[in-house]
Structure 1
C-alpha cells in the first residue's frame, strides 16, 4: 500500500508520533501558540491557524489540500471534532460528518433527536429559556433534575436541582455563567443551558471504535464521581454484572446507530437506572482523563492510534473486543484550595512496578482551586492489577502517599 497522508487537527504530539509510526505522512493543523519545536521535528507540514475560526480556515485548508492531498482529517481532541468534520465534508473525504458531530456536541439537539428515534435510551429535556421554564419543567417532570450547558464539558456549570426552593438560585447561577471567562472559554463558551431529567444510578462510559458502521465495544469504564459530578477516577473493566454490561452495550449500539456514527472512536457516557441504561452524552473522540491509557493497558487496543491511523489502512480491523489482559484504574489527586507550599511523596509513589503514571499538574506557588469542574483537579495516578479492585486499591494507596500542602486563603489572612 502506498504511503498515506493524514491531516491531524490539534491534540497532543503523541497523535503525530503514532501516525508516523504507522508509516503515514502528517499535515498538522494547530493554533500557532500551541505549535512547539517538538512538533516541527516530526510533522511533514504544518498549517498554523486558529482552526476554530471556520471562515478563516476553509479557504486555507482548501489550498493546503490541493498541495498536500491528505486523504483524511482526524482528531483526538474535543476542540478539534467540529473542524475535522467540516474539513471532511468540504473536501469530500468521508469520515464523521459535521451533522453527526453537531448531534454530539449540542446536548439539546441530541436529546430531541433521540426522543424521535430512540426514546428508550434518553430522558426528557428542554432548553432553559427563562426563570419560568424551570417551574414548567419541574411541574412536568418533577425533582430532581439537571441543568447544564448545552455544549459544555468537564462538568462545568452542571447543577442538580432538588426542590422548588432552589430554583431562584439555579437561575441566577445560570445567568452568571453565561459568557463567563474560564480557562477554556475560547473553545468552550457557556451560552445556552438545557434542563433534563436526572438519572439515578451508577455511571459508566463506553469506549468504542466504529468500522464502516460496525461498532466494536472495546471497554466499559466505571466512573467514580464527586457529589457535584466531577469525575474522581475510572476503572477498566467496570465492575458490573454480565446482564447489566449487556444492557449497557445494547444501549450504546442503539445510540451510535441513531446518531449515525459510521467511522472512528466514540466515548459515550451512560447511567444505569432502574428503568435500564440511559445515555447522558457522547463524543466522537477517545475518552479523556487517560482513559485511552487504561483501555490500552487492559485490552491492548490503542484507541488513539486507531483514531489517527485507521484511515491509512495499516491497522487490522478487530472482529470483537480484544481479550482482557489485566485491569487498570486511575484516581485524581486533591488538596485543600489555596497556594501550593510543598509537594511530598510523588517520586516514591511512582516506584511501584504496577504504577504506570504519577502526574502532577501543580507545583510550589501554583493555586489549587475548589473542585467545581474536571479542570480543577491537580493530577492523577494510573495503575494496573490482576483485577479491578486491586488496580483501584493501588491507585488509592499511591494517591494517599502524595501530599500537596497549601496555604489556604483563610490562613493567609489570619
Structure 2
C-alpha cells in the first residue's frame, strides 16, 4: 500500500477551537503558538505541538518558529487574533511563506503609523496627532474643530475610545486616557495600550468592508453595517449593509485604494469606515478577518467562509468550495446590561431560539455574575443571530428574540 502523502503543516498563532477545527477539516496539521496567559489546554491533543510564547515579543516568536520549522517544515503561518497578527506576518516573511505584505500587519496594528503613511496621499490624509498631552488635542481642534475622538494607537474591542465635545471636557477625558494607559483592564497582558492619538469625530453611519486579497487583487466579500452604542462598543452587525449602489461603490473604491496604498497583498482584511455628509472617513484596518465572528455572519449570506479561505491560502491549498447560503440577509444583535448589578436569572432563551428566523442564541453571563453597561466588547452579555429574505426581516427576527430574553438583576 502506498503511504499517504504528508499533510501540510500550518503554524497557527493564538487560534480558537473553531479555527483549529477548520484547519484540520482542510487537511492541514497544526502547530499552535499560544500566549501563556490565554492558553487553552483542550487544543493540545488536536495539534502536533502546542507552545507557549509571548506573542507580542516578535523576536521571541521568530526564534521559536525557526526551531519548529526545522522540525515540521511549515506550509503556512497565520493568525486572526489581533495581538498575534504582527508576529504571524513577521514569521511568514522570515520563512518565505505567504504574508499579508511587507510589514503591513504591523503597520495597521499601530494606528498612528497608519496615519503617517496615509499622510503621504492627499486623498487619504485627515487631521490627527499623537496624544501626549491635552495641548495635542487642542491643536487638532484648532485645525478641524470639535468634537474630537481620543483612541489608543494599538487598542482593540473599542477599549478606551473617548469622544470629547469641547474644551470643557478635555481634562476629564485626559484623566481617563491616563487610566487606560495604566492598563488596568481585563486583557492588559495580551492587549496592552501603549499610546493614544486624537482625530476629529466623524459623524455618520459605520460600516466594515471585508476583503480577501490574492496577489494584490482585492475581492470585496461584503460591506457590513455596524450598530454602535454610546461607548463606541459594537451592538450589532447587518449583512448586507443596505447601501445604495453609488455609496457602495464609493466605499469599496475608497477601501481598495487604501489597501493598495498600505501594501496589503494577501489574505483577509477588515477595514472600518464612517460614511457621512463630509464623505467617507477611514477609521482603521486590520490584516485579518473581522472580529465579532463576522466571517460566520458572512457565510450565512454568501456561503463563503473567509476564515477557512485564510487558512487554505496561507498554506497554498485550494480554497474550500462555497456552500448554499441560509438567507439573503443576516443580523447579529448583542445583549447588553443597562445598569450595574448582579445577575439573578436569564429567562426566555429557549423561547427566543424557537422564534422564526432565529439562527442561534448564545448567552455569556450566568446568575451570580456582576455586570455593567459595556465599555469594551468583552463586557457584552450574549448574542442573537437571525437570517431572513431581507435585512428588515432578519432584523425583526433578531429584535424579537432580544425582547423575549429577560435579564433579571439586583442593583449594586
TM-score (norm 1): 0.93
Query: Structure 1 residue 107: deviation in Å?
Result: 0.8
Query: Structure 1 residue 103: deviation in Å?
Result: 1.6
Give per-residue Cα distances to partners, 1:196-230, cap 9 Å, x unaligned.
12211111001111111110000000011112321
* Whole-angstrom CA distance in 2 between matches of 1:317 and 1:111: 36
Find 1:184's aligned residue among 184, 187, 197: 187
* Whole-angstrom CA distance in 1 between matches of 2:245 and 2:111: 29
Query: Structure 1 residue 50: deviation in Å?
Result: 3.0
Matched, 1:229 2:232: yes
> Comparing 268-277 with 105-114, which one deviates more in the overlay?
268-277
| Alignment of structure 1 residues 246-261 onto 2, 5 Å | 246-261=249-264
* Whole-angstrom CA distance in 1 between matches of 2:255 and 2:44: 39
What root-mean-square deviation, in Å, do the aligned CA atoms of Structure 1 and Structure 2 show? 2.1
* Whole-angstrom CA distance in 2 between matches of 1:90 and 1:156: 32
Aligned residues of 1:211 and 1:317 also touching (Cα < 8 A) = no
Match of 2:30 in 1: 26
Aligned residues of 1:300 and 1:325 also touching (Cα < 8 A) = no
Classify the secondary structure of the residue corresponding to 1:121: coil
Find 1:79's aligned residue among 56, 66, 83: 83
Give per-residue Cα distances to partners, 1:353-393, cap 9 Å, x unaligned.
53222111110111112221212111110110001011111
Give per-residue Cα distances to partners, 1:252-290, cap 9 Å, x unaligned.
100110110111111100011223212100111111112
* Whole-angstrom CA distance in 2 between matches of 1:372 and 1:351: 31
Match of 1:412 in 2: none
Find 1:380's aligned residue among 375, 379, 383: 383
Any unmatched runs of 5+ in structure 2? none
| Alignment of structure 1 residues 153-192 onto 2, 5 Å | 153-192=156-195
Give per-residue Cα distances to partners, 1:295-331, cap 9 Å, x unaligned.
000111101111112233333499x9x9995100000
> Comparing 241-250 with 220-229, which one deviates more in the overlay?
220-229
Match of 2:106 in 1: 102
Matched, 1:279 2:282: yes
> Comparing 98-107 with 63-72, which one deviates more in the overlay?
98-107
Match of 2:330 in 1: 328
Give per-residue Cα distances to partners, 1:236-261, cap 9 Å, x unaligned.
00011110000010011001101101
Find 1:123's aligned residue among 121, 126, 138: 126
How many residues align? The count is 406
| Alignment of structure 1 residues 189-200 onto 2, 5 Å | 189-200=192-203
* Whole-angstrom CA distance in 1 between matches of 2:139 and 2:278: 24
* Whole-angstrom CA distance in 2 between matches of 1:33 and 1:111: 31
Matched, 1:243 2:224: no
Aligned residues of 2:309 and 2:320 also touching (Cα < 8 A) = no
* Whole-angstrom CA distance in 2 between matches of 1:404 and 1:21: 38
* Whole-angstrom CA distance in 1 between matches of 2:77 and 2:328: 33
Find 1:339's aligned residue among 342, 357, 361: 342
* Whole-angstrom CA distance in 2 between matches of 1:364 and 1:375: 18
Aligned residues of 1:18 and 1:309 also touching (Cα < 8 A) = no
Match of 2:366 in 1: 363
* Whole-angstrom CA distance in 1 between matches of 2:125 and 2:104: 17
Match of 1:12 in 2: 16
Match of 2:117 in 1: 113
> Comparing 233-242 with 266-275, which one deviates more in the overlay?
266-275
Match of 1:141 in 2: 144
Q: 1:266 to 1:226 in 2, by over 3 A?
A: same
* Whole-angstrom CA distance in 2 between matches of 1:144 and 1:324: 42
Give per-residue Cα distances to partners, 1:20-40, cap 9 Å, x unaligned.
111112111123454445423
Aligned residues of 2:112 and 2:197 also touching (Cα < 8 A) = yes
- Runs of 4+ aligned structure 1 residues displaced above 6 Å come to none
Any unmatched runs of 5+ in structure 1? 410-414
* Whole-angstrom CA distance in 2 between matches of 1:115 and 1:371: 33
* Whole-angstrom CA distance in 1 between matches of 2:113 and 2:37: 33
TM-score (norm 2): 0.93
| Alignment of structure 1 residues 391-402 onto 2, 5 Å | 391-402=394-405
Classify the secondary structure of the residue corresponding to 1:120: coil
Find 1:220's aligned residue among 223, 229, 232: 223
Query: Structure 1 residue 62: deviation in Å?
Result: 1.1
Q: 1:138 to 1:34 in 2, by over 3 A?
A: closer
